[in-house]
Chains A and B, each alone.
Chain A
Amino acid sequence: MHPVLSTVLQRLGLGLATLLAVSVIIFISIELLPGDFGQIVLGQAATKETVAAFRLELGLDKPPYIRYFDWVAGVVRGDLGQSFSGRAASGQDRSREVAELIGPRLKNTLFLAGITALISVPLALILGISTALYRNSIYDRSINATTLTTISFPEFFVAYILILFLSSLNQWLPSLANVDAATPLDERLLRIALPVLTLTLVIIAHMMRMTRAAIINLLASPYIQMAQLSGASRTEVIIKHALPNAWAPIATVIAFNLAYLVVGVVVVEVVFVYPGIGQLMVDAVTTRDIPVVQGCALIFAVTYILLNLSADIIGIITNPRLLHPK
Chain B
Amino acid sequence: MNKSSERGDLLLDVKGLKIQGFSDEKWHDIIKGIDLKLHRGEIMGLIGESGAGKSTLGLAAMGYTQPGCRITEGNILFDGADLAGLSDVQKKKFWGNRMTYVAQSAAASFNPAHRLILQTTASTIRSGAKSKDQAYSDAMDLYKELNLPDPQNIGDRYPHQVSGGQLQRVMTAMAMSPRPDLIVFDEPTTALDVTTQVEVLSAMRKIVEKFNTAAIYITHDLAVVAQMADYIKVLRYGKEVEEAPTRKMLSSPKEEYTKSLWSVRSLEKQEQQKGESVLSLKSIDAAYGSAKVLFDVNIEVAKGTTVAVVGESGSGKSTTARVITGLLPQSSGIISFDGEELPKALKDRTKEQKRRIQMIYQMADTAMNPRQTVGEIIGRPLQFYLDMNGAEKRKRTLELLEMIELNGDFMQRLPSELSGGQKQRICIARALAANPDFIICDEVTSALDQIVQEGILKLLLRLQKDLGLTYLFITHDISTVKAISDQVVVMNQGSVVEQGQKTDVFQPPHPAYTELLLSSVPEMDPDWLTNLNAARQVD
Contacts and interface: CB of A to CB of B under 8 A. Distances in A.
Contacts of B122: 230, 232
The 7 tightest CB contacts between A and B, nearest first, are: A231-B96, A230-B96, A244-B113, A230-B123, A231-B95, A222-B108, A229-B101
A221 interface: yes
A326 B157 CA distance: 9
A226 B112 contact: no
B479 interface: no
Contact of B108 (A221, A240, A320): A221
B446 interface: no
A326 B108 CA distance: 17
B123 A231 contact: yes
Contacts of B64: 228-229
A226 B97 contact: no
Given A231-B123, A232-B96, A226 B160 contact: no
Interface in B119-133: 122-123, 126-127
B113 A320 contact: yes
B109 A326 contact: no
A321 interface: yes
Given A222-B105, A227-B111, A244-B113, 14 more contacts: A222-B103, A223-B110, A225-B66, A226-B101, A226-B110, A229-B64, A230-B95, A230-B122, A244-B111, A245-B112, A320-B113, A320-B160, A321-B112, A326-B160
A324 B158 CA distance: 8
Interface string A284-326: 0000000000000000000000000000000000111100101
Nearest to A318: B113
A250 to B, nearest CB: 14
B97 A231 contact: yes
A227 B92 CA distance: 10
Nearest to B111: A223
Contacts of A55: none
Contacts of B109: 222-223, 225-226
A320 B157 CA distance: 10
A245 B92 CA distance: 23
Interface of A: 221-223, 225-233, 240-241, 244-245, 318-321, 324, 326
Contacts of B59: 229
13 contacts: A222-B103, A223-B110, A226-B111, A228-B64, A228-B95, A231-B96, A231-B126, A232-B96, A233-B89, A240-B114, A318-B113, A320-B113, A320-B160
Q: In which size bucket is the chain B interface? A: 20 to 34
Given A230-B95, A320-B160, A326-B160, A245 B113 contact: yes
A228 B93 CA distance: 11
Given A221-B108, A223-B108, A231 B93 contact: yes
A189 B172 CA distance: 57
Contacts of A231: 92-97, 123, 126-127
Contacts of B158: 320-321, 324
Given A320-B158, A324-B158, A233 B92 contact: yes
B62 interface: yes
B160 A321 contact: yes
Contacts of A233: 89, 92
Contacts of A222: 103, 105, 108-109
B174 interface: yes
A233 B89 CA distance: 8
Contacts of B530: none
Nearest to A245: B113
B197 interface: no
B331 interface: no
B315 interface: no
A226 B119 CA distance: 10
Contact of B111 (A245, A318, A319, A326): A245
Nearest to A220: B67
B97 A320 contact: no
Contacts of A228: 64, 92, 95
A226 B93 CA distance: 15
B75 interface: no
B450 interface: no
Contacts of A241: 111, 113
B112 A320 contact: yes
Contacts of A226: 101, 103, 109-111
B330 interface: no
B216 to A, nearest CB: 13
Contacts of A227: 111
Nearest to A223: B111
B100 interface: yes
A226 B116 CA distance: 14
Nearest to B126: A231
Contacts of A225: 66, 103, 109
Nearest to B91: A231
Contacts of B97: 231
Contacts of B157: 324
B111 to A, nearest CB: 5
A228 B59 CA distance: 12
Contacts of B62: 229
Interface string B121-164: 01100110000000000000000000000000000011011000
Q: Identify the interface centre among A230, A240, A326: most chain B CB within 10 Å of its CB.
A: A230
Contacts of B110: 223, 226
A286 B123 CA distance: 66
B126 A326 contact: no
Nearest to B156: A324
A284 B255 CA distance: 87
A233 B126 CA distance: 10
A229 B161 contact: no
B515 to A, nearest CB: 30
A146 to B, nearest CB: 27
A232 B95 CA distance: 8
Q: Identify the interface centre among A223, A232, A240: most chain B CB within 10 Å of its CB.
A: A223
Contacts of A230: 95-96, 100-101, 122-123, 174
Contacts of A240: 114
A326 B123 contact: no
A324 B89 CA distance: 35
Contacts of B93: 231
A222 B64 CA distance: 14
A245 B93 CA distance: 26
B334 to A, nearest CB: 36
Q: Identify the interface centre among B62, B93, B95: most chain A CB within 10 Å of its CB.
A: B95
B417 to A, nearest CB: 24
Interface in B262-310: none
B88 to A, nearest CB: 8
Interface in B42-88: 59, 62, 64, 66
Contacts of B105: 222
A244 B96 contact: no
Contacts of B101: 226, 229-230
A227 B100 CA distance: 11
A142 to B, nearest CB: 23
A326 to B, nearest CB: 5
Contacts of B95: 228-231
Contact of B96 (A223, A229, A318): A229
Nearest to B159: A320
Contacts of A244: 111, 113-114
